[in-house]
């Protein structure tokens, strides 16, 4: 299939012509994103509030979105993308509002520490600490700690599934679902899609190396299943949605992960969105498929958490 018309226009526009990340320091990229933010749609939602919860080493900002006044809402703990190096909860405000409304669940977006200042496993430990803190404070926050899911996009998808691994292997809390949008799972970048789609579609193979190089600080980290979940033992994980994009260099590793989950006896819903590129679900101002993907994921989460 060809690129979606809206995506093609975006890639041809000045917004889609971002200079190669590897030419910049992480702080320079963050500053560029502050200067040239994506459009904000600000979809309406019942309530949003900022919390300070204990992370692995210090307090973290966690933004809680509630789609209704109902008590004991199921909770989706969400981890934003950005290659472990850039982005924050503000940049994912629209996505979290849309996901909360689509699922009927509360969404808690975690502002975990970023690499290279805080490399692996610091961001992951923040994510897991936030999950535990949210579950422990469920009654105070108006959420049901027995109906929990993790979700994330790109690097946040990596952190979501690695958090699910920690919840399985440590003291919980039990999770019912994991929602993964084009997850970032393989530091080796060895798939066919990484080779054939590694230039010309926004996320490049060189940019992927730049992100991984800042996140992982030793060769041993590249083999660690908590950094590279494709290497993990996956039995006992919660059911999952794994969404991929046709023109994404990460497509094959996401689909390989879905296959590995199935082989481990985990129920998986897999969707490949045709004509799409990496990050498309954050682009409702570019393509209507973004809203469709979030509606699809929201329906999966709603079914898993309200049954």
Per-residue confidence band for 187, with pLDDT thresholds at 50, 70 and 90: very high
Contact 188, 246 (CB under 8 A): no
> How far is the C-alpha of 120 from the C-alpha of 132, rounded, in Å?
19
Q: Can 154 be counted among the known catalytic residues? A: yes
- Active site annotation includes 278: yes
What's the whole-model pTM score? 0.97
Domain that holds residue 225: 5-306
Q: What is the pLDDT of residue 14?
A: 85
Domains held by the chain: number: 1
Model pLDDT for residues 240-255, shown as the tens digit of each residue: 999 999 999 999 999 9
How does pLDDT run across 66-78, given as a tens digit for each residue?
A: 999 999 999 999 9
Q: What is the CATH number of the domain that holds 178?
A: 3.40.50.1820
Of 109, 278, 282, 300, the catalytic one is 278
153: left (phi over 0), alpha (psi -120 to 50) or beta: beta
Q: Return d(Cα 81, Cα 118) in angstroms, integer.
A: 16
Confidence of residue 279 (pLDDT cuts 50, 70, 90): very high
- Cis ω on the peptide bond leading into residue 173 (within 30° of 0)? yes
Q: Catalytic residue among 93, 153, 186, 248, which? A: 248
Task: Single out the catalytic residue among 103, 109, 154, 282.
Answer: 154
pLDDT tens-digit profile of 142-184?
A: 999 999 999 999 999 999 999 999 999 998 999 999 999 999 9
């Amino acid at each position: 299939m060809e690129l979606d018309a809206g995506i093609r226009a975006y890639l041809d526009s000045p917004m889609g012509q971002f200079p190669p990340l590897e030419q910049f320091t992480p702080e320079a990229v963050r500053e560029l994103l502050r200067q040239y933010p994506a459009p904000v749609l600000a979809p309406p939602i019942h309530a949003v509030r900022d919390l300070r919860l204990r992370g692995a080493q210090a307090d973290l900002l966690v933004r809680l979105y509630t789609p209704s006044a109902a008590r004991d809402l199921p909770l989706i703990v969400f981890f934003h993308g950005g290659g472990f190096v850039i982005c924050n909860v503000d940049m994912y405000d629209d996505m979290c509002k849309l996901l909360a409304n689509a699922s009927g669940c509360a969404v808690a977006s975690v502002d975990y520490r970023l690499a290279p200042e805080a490399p692996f496993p610091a961001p992951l430990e923040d994510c897991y600490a936030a999950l535990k803190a949210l579950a422990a404070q469920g009654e105070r926050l108006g959420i049901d700690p027995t109906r929990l899911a993790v979700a994330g996009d790109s690097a946040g998808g990596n952190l979501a599934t690695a958090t699910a691994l920690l919840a399985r292997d440590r003291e919980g809390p039990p999770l019912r679902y994991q929602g993964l949008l084009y997850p970032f799972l393989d530091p080796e970048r060895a798939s066919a899609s990484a080779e054939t789609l590694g230039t010309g579609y926004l996320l490049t193979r060189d940019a992927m190396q730049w992100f991984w190089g800042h996140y992982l600080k030793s060769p041993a980290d590249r083999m660690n299943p908590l950094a590279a979940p494709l290497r993990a033992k996956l039995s006992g994980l919660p059911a999952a949605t794994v969404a991929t994009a046709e023109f994404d260099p990460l497509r094959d590793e996401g689909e390989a992960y879905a296959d590995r989950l199935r082989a481990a006896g985990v129920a998986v819903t897999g969707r490949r969105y045709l004509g799409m590129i990496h990050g498309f679900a954050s682009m409702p101002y570019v393509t209507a498929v973004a809203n469709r993907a979030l509606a699809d994921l929201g329906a999966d989460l709603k079914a898993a958490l309200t049954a």
